Every structure is written in structure tokens, then in C-alpha cells.
Structure 1
Amino acid sequence: MGSRVLKVVIAGGGTGGHVQPAVATLEVLRRRLPIEPLWIGSTGGIEAEAAHRAGVPFQAIPTGKLRRYLSLRTAVDAVRVPLGVLAALRILRRVRPDVVFATGGFVSVPTVVAARVLGIPSLSHEQTAIVGLANRINARFCNVLALTYDSSAAMVAGSRARTVVTGNPIRPSLLDGDPETVRDAFGFDPAAPLIYVTGGALGAQAINNAVRAALPDLLPLTQVLHQCGPAEANGDYPRLLAARAALPQDLQARYAVVERIGDELPGIYAAATAVVSRAGAGTVAEIATLGKPAILIPLPGAGGDEQTRNARVLADDGAAVLLPQSELTPERLVAEVRSLLDDPARRARMSERARAHGHADAAERLADAILDLAGRPVPEYART
């Protein structure tokens, strides 16, 4: 029975945080048994490109964003959601998958509802510390809700779904980074500390501004690799290059700024003494799993302030520093970095506590839960 092709429908997208867990778990499932995947998502969403890169057929359905407030778009989307359910019903009736794997976001809701109508088992995964509105709805229809943090279970108490804690998958390549590749590429001194600063794929202007003003005081303490986001997103890249050019020659060599980070990320994490970043679900999962001391600056008000909740999971356990954006100044940033660099024992404790919140095997755990839900035996090698 275990060798029969597993037909799995992936439902989710909208942001990279909803896409990456699907891609990572898909890799594990493909290693374990023959699968026939299909990705259901939105028209024009980033999930379509992710599915293409992963070699997964993709079908778009009408989707409407779920909002807690009234707007003209709310009325339009209220119509699109049931249309999405009808479209998902047609696809699922034709495909007849063994299981639906949803990764949250409003894109996933119609397919999870349709799976319930057709009696197809489904699992939905929540990446953040707050169970979002989409997964609160999904929990009423799916069989299993997979959580990243134990503390999230209370938010869906009494729902239909059984909860399991799997963690949030990160890219396997991040576990095996080579620090020398990054030091060589940017000319960094291996004997000096390195701080990796990131505001996410599009950058964070508040962080970029603070770093730019702090450079004269920050660089005597540490080298800095700064991912600032593309110039077309925030306009900061040329300003940061100009700030670098205005520095003394010896300090210029200690600062590198780039718009985007790609395949270099595993090496960057391996080389970094600490990280300064936003607190998106994916970044926090990476920091925790890799045990990196971090100063987390949550995006204010994001999705019910979910980034602050993500950061608090680590900060309340001494695994990270939570620095609210309202308190972010160049002086405060320098002081927090100095405090970390001056106390190796504290960094070691933070690293240990961070790893306690990480799940290097999150994709394996999700694959286990999906196979179990589909009535497939979990291979013994997967449990070792």
C-alpha cells in the first residue's frame, strides 16, 4: 500500500511565508514515496511561480482576502470566496486527492472548505505565533491544524481540528552553510564579528535608516552585511551606498550592502555572529532552528501584530532581543549590538534557548502528519 502514488493537493500562497513550508514539505514527501501533486492558488499570486519551480501543476481559483474591517473590497471578496469554493469543488472532484495540505492565508480557505464537503482529509499549517483568520476558519473544516508553537493551541481550543506542533520548515540548505564563501565574497575578516541585517525581501526603511545613521559608531564594533531591499521598493540602496562611500577607508571594508540575498543565505547565517531583522514567521523559524542570537524589530501592526507575537516567543525566553520600531534609534541599535558582542556567554545562552524553539525536522513532521492523515504508513526510516 505504501508504494501506491499519493495524490496530494497543496492549497496556499499569497506570501513567501505560506509558500516555503509547502515547498519544503513537498521535497520530503517526494523523497519518501511516489506522489502526484497539484497546487491550487490564486491568479497572479507568487504561489504560481513557486509551483512552477517545484515542477507542480498549478490551478488558479477565485479568491477573496479575508478582512476584519469593512471596505468596498470586503463586499467584492465576499462574493469571490464562495466562487472559489465552487471552483475548488470542481477540481477536487476531478482529481480525488488522498489528502489536502493547506499552508494558510486566504488563498487556502476555499480548498479546505471544499475538501470537507467532499470528505477528503485535510491538514492546514500555521506559521506564526498568532493563528491567523484564515486558519481559524480552516480549523472549523480541516482534520488537523499543524502549529509552529505550542502556545498557539489555546487560540483554536474547541475547534474541529486536532492540533499538532510541527514547527515551521526552513530550507534544508540553511543547515549546511559555509561561512568562508561569504567572507571571501565580501572580503570580511574572519577574526572580527559579523552582524547580518535584513528587513525581508523588500527591505525595511526604518531599519535601513537606523543602520545608515549608526554606521560610524557601529562599524568600529563589528562588520555588517546589510540586505536593504531593492531600490525600486524603498529607494534606500543608493543612499546606503553613498553613506558607505563617505566612511573612512578602513570602515568601508567592514560594511557591505546588497539589495537582495539569494543562494548566499546559508553561508551568511553560518558566518553571522548575530542577526538584526524583522520578525516574520520564516525569519524567526530560521533564527530559532539555527540558534542565532538576534535583535528582532517587528513590523508594526502586521496581521494583528503577528510579528510582535513571533518575536515575543523568543524574547520572553531570553532567546532574542525584542526592539519595537517605536524605540529604534541609531543610538539604541548600537547599544543593543554592543551589549551582545561584549557578552559571549549571553550569546551562547540565547543560541541555546533559540534552538529550543526551532524544529530542524519540521518538514519531516509535517510529512509524517500528512501521510498519517492519508492513511499511509509512515516509513520507519522517517522516524529515525
Structure 2
Amino acid sequence: SPAVAVIERLRERSAVEGWPLTLLYIGSKGGAEREIITAMGIEYLSVPVGKLRRYLSWKTPPDLARIPLGVAAAWRQVGRFKPDVIFSTGGFVSVPTVVAGWLRRVPSLVHEQTALVGLANRIAARSASVVAISYESSRRYFAKARRVVLTGNPVRQAVLGGEAARGYSRFGLDTSVPLVYVTGGAQGSHILNEAVAAALPQLLAQAAMVHQCGNGPDGSSADLRELSARREALPTDLQARYAVLPFVREQIADIYAAASLVIGRSGAGTVNELAALGKPAILVPLASSAEGEQMRNAEMMRDAGGAVIIREAELSAEALSVKLGELLADPSRLSAMGSAALKLAQPHAAEAIVELLLELATVRD
């Protein structure tokens, strides 16, 4: 995530330049990032989160009630921690902290990861000192912001510097065929998992596959159990071409290095990593993503020449198998797609954001 990438760069600069660095992460109670942040040795606190919607929902009244509670909780935490600067990576969980910082006269930087700006960052931008954008096309959404800077979207170090041979050997995969990485994001994608399960023999006839399937929104691991059972039912030679696991951690750089193609959702993090690494992709945008954010991300990659899109409504075992076959049968096309994806990358994004944060912290001093 951008937060992890910026934290890594802040720590590097602190160690080299000799200035003290103390970090506090404020997120939601059930945030998927909690485990990552605490593993980095950073204090993690949660605040109540309320989501504003542009449609009628029974969830709206209780969510509206949580907004002032979130601001009050963030106000207390900002007062206790006394930060020199606040870095926000977006989402409704970030709004209370940015607002609390504004009320306490703490400068803040709001980072927008996506090409299509969501409501939360539009609100937070009104209280921010600087808005950092990943794509020039996002600038028009922040016409009233005090300052807007194009930085790009930072990439965490964990995805860089992998070795292709280890991508195969970590999972004992057949090296005689291309490797495809399937990812549905942190929680996994049930619809993508279903399509892969139904097409597994056809897919594995063409490639080896590392499949990050998640544990599902309910944490039940139902898809993992189903996919594992499907693997066990395969002939031995095809079993040697398929690895399924709920999460990918330290293996991610090697998997990316080995992957000839990625099949996945088109969240900001995934698209950013594909661009940074120059990886061609089959993208299946989440149809219910806020304001069509994932479709916009996928279209940006497709229009640049780095990806093809299969819409959720069109996703099937056959569609996935056919599209995979078309791409793997044309290595020159895959190479061209990877080069096109790489042109969207902003390799110095983390450094640019760190420079802005240090500038804001110095102004406060």
C-alpha cells in the first residue's frame, strides 16, 4: 500500500540523515492493514468510521452518527500524539483524522491513489495542506484544494527485486510452462475464485498458477477449501502446476518476477504494482466498487495497452480460459503489454511524498 511504501522511505531517510521518527497509524477497527502495520512495529489505533453515501440505505443514519464520534476520537489522538504532519491515504477512515488535524492546526497531506477520485478524499482535501495525486487526470477533482502535486502512487519494497526461479521453486511448480499469478486482493474475489475453480484443468493445461484466493469477507476460507479440494482431484502433473493460498506475503516479489501474466481485480494497489513491475494483466474490475473506481483503473491500463478487461457479467470459466490462451500464445503481445504498463509507473513516488511531508513538518516547526 502507499502507506507502507512511504513509511519504508521515511525510515530509510531517518536512519541515513539522523532525525528522529515516531509513527502512529489511525485506521478502522476491522481494517485489513492492522496486521501489516503492527508487524512493522507501529502503534495502531482505531476510530469510529462513518460512510457517506449518494444513495438511500438503512446504513446511512448510524454511519452519519459515527462521523462526529470519529472526529472526536481523532481529535483526542492527535492531541495526545502531537504529530508534526499527517499523511492520509484516503477512504472514509482518513477523514476524521485530517479534519482533527486541521482543527488542531497540524498540516496534512492527502494522497489520492486512483484515477477516479472518491467522495472521502474530496471531503478531506478541503482540510488538507497538500493533495498528492497519482494521475494528472485527477487534478480536476481538487479545484478548491490549497495545493495539488502530481507524485504518482508509491509501491512497497516487498514487491520489488524478486527472482523468477524462486517464484517457481517456492511452490514446487512445473517450470516448463509460463507462470500466471491470480489475485483477488486482500479478502479474495469469490467470483474470480469460482471461475478459476471451474476452469482449472483447462487453465493448467496452459500454465502454472499461483492463486491468492483470500479467506473471504466473512473469514470462512470456504473458497480456499474448495480450491484445495479441486487441486487434490487433479492428475499429479497438473497438481504440480497449481499452488493456492489465502495470502501472499514475503513470496510476492518472487511471484511477480516469475509471472508472465497476472489475473486480478483492478484496485489502485494492484494496478500500481502492475505498472511499476511492467506486468501484463487480465483485469476483472469489481462492479460494485465506489463510483466505478475499479473499472476506471482497468480502463486506464487497457487504454495504455497494458491490460485486457473481462467484466464481471462476462466472466466465466470459458471466457477466462480462452483469454488466457490467446495471450500466452502470443509472447510478443505480452511483452508489448508489459512495456506499455511500465510507462504508467512513477518510480519516485514515495520519495516525492516524503519530501512533501518533511516540507510540511518543517513549516510547522
TM-score for both structures, normalised by structure 1: 0.86
Aligned match for 1:325, one of 312, 317, 323: 312
Cα deviation code 1:7-31 (max 9, x no counterpart): xxxxxxxxxxxxx322221221122
**Corresponding residue of 1:182:** 167
Deviation at 1:93, TM superposition (A): 3.9
Distance, in Å, in 2 between the alignment partners of 1:241 and 1:44 is 27
**Corresponding residue of 1:236:** 223
**Corresponding residue of 1:9:** none
Classify 1:329/1:369 alpha carbon distance in 2 versus 1 (closer, same or farther; 3 Å): same
Aligned residue pairs total 356
Classify 1:335/1:61 alpha carbon distance in 2 versus 1 (closer, same or farther; 3 Å): closer
**Corresponding residue of 1:142:** 128
Task: List runs of 5+ in structure 1 lacking aligned partners.
Answer: 1-19, 377-384
Aligned match for 1:285, one of 244, 253, 272: 272
Question: Are the counterparts in 2 of residues 168 and 363 from structure 1 also a CA contact under 8 Å?
Answer: yes
Distance, in Å, in 2 between the alignment partners of 1:144 and 1:44 is 28
Deviation at 1:128, TM superposition (A): 1.9
Q: CA RMSD in A?
A: 2.1
1:70 corresponds to 2:56 = yes
Question: Are the counterparts in 2 of residues 148 and 168 from structure 1 also a CA contact under 8 Å?
Answer: yes
Question: Are the counterparts in 1 of residues 131 and 145 from structure 2 also a CA contact under 8 Å?
Answer: no
Secondary structure of the residue aligned to 1:176 is coil
1:309 corresponds to 2:290 = no
Identify which range, 27-36 or 65-74, moves more after superposition.
Answer: 65-74
**Corresponding residue of 2:6:** 25
**Corresponding residue of 1:274:** 261
Aligned match for 1:92, one of 78, 92, 97: 78
1:112 corresponds to 2:98 = yes
Distance, in Å, in 1 between the alignment partners of 2:75 and 2:201 is 59
Question: Are the counterparts in 1 of residues 275 and 344 from structure 2 also a CA contact under 8 Å?
Answer: yes
Amino acid at match of 2:330: D
TM-score for both structures, normalised by structure 2: 0.90
Q: How does 1:44-83 map to 2 (within 5 A)?
A: 44-83=30-69
Amino acid at match of 1:183: Y
Question: Are the counterparts in 2 of residues 205 and 234 from structure 1 also a CA contact under 8 Å?
Answer: no
Distance, in Å, in 1 between the alignment partners of 2:56 and 2:347 is 40
**Corresponding residue of 1:223:** 208
Cα deviation code 1:81-102 (max 9, x no counterpart): 2233233334434444321111
Deviation at 1:118, TM superposition (A): 3.0
Distance, in Å, in 2 between the alignment partners of 1:199 and 1:48 is 19
Deviation at 1:44, TM superposition (A): 4.6
Deviation at 1:66, TM superposition (A): 2.4
Q: How does 1:230-269 map to 2 (within 5 A)?
A: 230=215, 232-233=219-220, 235-269=222-256
Classify 1:152/1:233 alpha carbon distance in 2 versus 1 (closer, same or farther; 3 Å): farther
Classify 1:200/1:44 alpha carbon distance in 2 versus 1 (closer, same or farther; 3 Å): closer
Distance, in Å, in 1 between the alignment partners of 2:239 and 2:110 is 47
Task: List runs of 5+ in structure 2 lacking aligned partners.
Answer: 15-19
Deviation at 1:47, TM superposition (A): 4.8
Cα deviation code 1:50-77 (max 9, x no counterpart): 4432323344433322222333432223
Aligned match for 1:296, one of 283, 304, 309: 283
Secondary structure of the residue aligned to 1:201 is coil
Deviation at 1:265, TM superposition (A): 1.0
Quote the sequence identity (%). Answer: 49
Aligned match for 2:182, one of 187, 192, 197: 197
Identify which range, 164-173 or 302-311, moves more after superposition.
Answer: 164-173
**Corresponding residue of 1:373:** 360
Question: Are the counterparts in 2 of residues 203 and 234 from structure 1 also a CA contact under 8 Å?
Answer: no
**Corresponding residue of 2:150:** 165
Classify 1:163/1:224 alpha carbon distance in 2 versus 1 (closer, same or farther; 3 Å): same
Deviation at 1:49, TM superposition (A): 4.1
Question: Are the counterparts in 1 of residues 32 and 186 from structure 2 also a CA contact under 8 Å?
Answer: no
Distance, in Å, in 1 between the alignment partners of 2:333 and 2:154 is 27
Deviation at 1:293, TM superposition (A): 0.7
**Corresponding residue of 2:17:** none
Classify 1:233/1:198 alpha carbon distance in 2 versus 1 (closer, same or farther; 3 Å): farther
Distance, in Å, in 1 between the alignment partners of 2:178 and 2:52 is 44
